[in-house]
Each structure stands twice: as C-alpha cells, then as structure tokens.
Amino acid sequence: MKSYIMKPYAFRNLHGEQRIFNYRLSRARRIIENAFGLASARFRILRRPIELGVEKFIHVVSAICVLHNFLMTRSKRLYAPYGSFDVENHETGTIEPGEWRQSTQGLVDLHVNPHLRGNLEAKDVQREFTEYFHQEGEVSWQYKYI
C-alpha cells in the first residue's frame, strides 16, 4: 500500500466505518476495472507487457486514454454499447459482469506479496478516506450494502 494505492481493511473484526471504506473502495476499483477492461478490449496493445522505453510507453498510454475518452464522449453507443460495463443490481447488490470481461482473457493477473506492509503515510490516507466516507462524503445508499 502506498499513499496513491489503496487496499481494503483486512476482513476480520471490521467496524461500520471500515466496512463502508471497503465497499466504496470496491466500487471505485470496479469503475477503474471497467474503463481499463474496455480499453484493453479495444486497444489490444494493453493485453500484454509493453516493451517500450518509459517515455514512449507514457505517450502510448496517454494516447489510448485520450482516444478512449473521445470515443466515450462522441460515440459511446458504438464504442461501449449497453452491457459493455459491469452493472450493479441495486436491489440485491450483486454485480452483472460486462462484456469486456469475455474479450480480455489474455490479461495477466497481478500477484500480491502478503509480506509487504503499507507505510504510515498510506495508512493515514486510508484513515482520512474512512472518515470522509462517514462524514461529508457520505452517501445514503452506502449503508445498504455493508
């Protein structure tokens, strides 16, 4: 865990605020997974390691982000038709997987090293978000799913 990479609280003995943090983090992660999943389904270069220097790599990924955002804005029905993204059923809290998940079978899973611990700055950021989601960042529906 870094100050710019969050992870959920461990799933044992959580109090309500920590469970809300985990839920909200999970929702944010799902949005990112959907955007990256759709982009990797459309831009196949993202399905494998990109063997470029850092500068060229940044240009390629930036260009893909710009194209993705342009296509989402200008021709969403063609680029990302209904069913492309995961959808949360608000009645049951279950997730219906988006179509991009079938077309990205070649993505490499990241493996977590259980021996790595987060630093203190990261834990402070995690605590700040936990407090935020329970105070001014609170949304009424967050309690329904914890």
Domain presence at residue 131? yes
Domain presence at residue 128? yes
Q: What is the pLDDT along the chain (146 residues), one digit of tens a residue?
A: 677 788 888 878 888 899 999 989 988 888 888 888 888 888 888 888 888 999 999 999 999 999 999 998 998 888 888 888 888 877 777 888 888 887 765 555 556 666 666 678 888 889 999 999 988 998 888 888 77
Q: Give the count of beta carbons closer than 10 Å to the beta carbon of residue 38.
A: 23
Domain presence at residue 26? yes
Calpha distance 111→102 (Å, rounded) = 21
User: Which segments within the chain are labelled E, that is strand?
Assistant: 87-88, 95-96
**For residue 71, which of 46, 35, 47 has the smallest C-alpha distance?**
35
Write down the pLDDT at residue 133.
92
Domain presence at residue 3? no
Q: Give the count of beta carbons closer than 10 Å to the beta carbon of residue 37.
A: 23
Write down the pLDDT at residue 59.
95
Q: In terms of residue numbers, what domain contains 120? A: 16-145
Q: Give the number of domains in the chain.
A: 1
Domain presence at residue 67? yes
Domain presence at residue 1? no
Domain presence at residue 71? yes
Domain presence at residue 4? no
